[in-house]
Amino acid sequence: MGVLFAAVSGAQEPSTAARNDGNSAPCLPADLASLIAPEGAGVRVSTEQKMSAKPRHIAAADLSPEARRAYKAFERDARAGSPAAEVNLAVASFAGYGAAPNAGNALYWLHLAAQQGFAPAFYNLGVLYFKGCGVRQDYGEAFANFSRGAEAGDGPSQVNLAYFYSNGLGVDKNLIAAASWYRKAAEGSLAEAQFGLGDMYLRGEGVPQDDRLAFAWFEKAAVKGYNSARIMLGSMYAAGRGTSQDLESAYAWISAASLQGDARASALLPVIERQLNTTQLSAAKGRAQLLTNNARQTQSAALH
């Protein structure tokens, strides 16, 4: 089963701040669009990653009455000096939620919130500079903004700062610093950071190599429904690395990722399935469904 483990081992990716999944406008970070979610008569903008929550991607302006009311409410509160409203207004302006898309307006309000030391503003500015959206792409400026957000305690900023340190983006590569920032966010229960720290323990990068600690951090993220962690946890069970070999558990965790639509997981399942009897396979599938349901319930509760 060592082949299975090797097949899925992979470096930590940046937070969704640094990715575009193709469902949003070309220069609109998917992260920003996905942060807009209906809540009553307005919208809620959250910086916390929701592992399986369906993002509300906006490819064109949403000028519905609900969106217009939300935009006006954000604008009113932003003009009154609320940094949270300033960030909400910036995100809505960038996404075209309640008004025509306006990158200049978005940047104005983000900078205003940043001047007040509001951590999510630094995070979103870091996203824009990383992607080159509405500004010239500048890794150094992105790093500076993620640094400010991270120092202010913003978990997603800490994850992206760790990624920048681990890849030498906008700063000299520093794996010890990367592990340190992953740890800060991981101890704050951010699943992406828990996965990142587990990956560093697995590789012995920035921290001493330790399969058991890698397994423990992957497990924390996997319980939250983070697919990459579920696949790695299942792989470690399959290989007996950091834990006793347990093919039934391996199948359950990887199958749980597959149930959430992860194609990587689906490709791995037949390798394990051939080594399980009918009873084991049935139990593993039942457990995978339970893991999926539990994660969805946890994420749903976190949204309310």
Tell which wins on pLDDT, 132 or 226: 226
Give me the number of domains the chain comprises: 1
In this structure, how many other beta carbons lie within 10 angstroms of the beta carbon of residue 153?
12
Helix (H) or strand (E) holding 14: none
DSSP 8-state class, residue 136: -
* 68 assigned to some structural domain: yes
Q: Tell me which residue range forms the domain holding 75.
A: 1-145
* 7 assigned to some structural domain: yes
What is residue 300's predicted lDDT score, i.e. its pLDDT?
62
Please say if the pLDDT value at position 153 is more than 60.
yes
* 195 assigned to some structural domain: no
* 34 assigned to some structural domain: yes
Closest residue by Cα to residue 203 from 240, 251, 166, 252: 166
State the pTM of this model. 0.80
What is residue 299's predicted lDDT score, i.e. its pLDDT?
67
Find the range with the poorest average confidence among 36-50, 84-98, 121-135: 36-50
Tell how many helices (H) and how many strands (E) occur in the chain: 15, 2
* 207 assigned to some structural domain: no
Q: What confidence tier does 301 reach under pLDDT thresholds 50, 70, 90?
A: low
* 96 assigned to some structural domain: yes
* 269 assigned to some structural domain: no
* 140 assigned to some structural domain: yes
Helix (H) or strand (E) holding 105: helix 103-115
Q: CATH number of the domain that 111 lies in?
A: 1.25.40
Contact status, residue 142 vs residue 126, Cβ threshold 8 Å = yes
Mean pLDDT for 266-271 is: 92
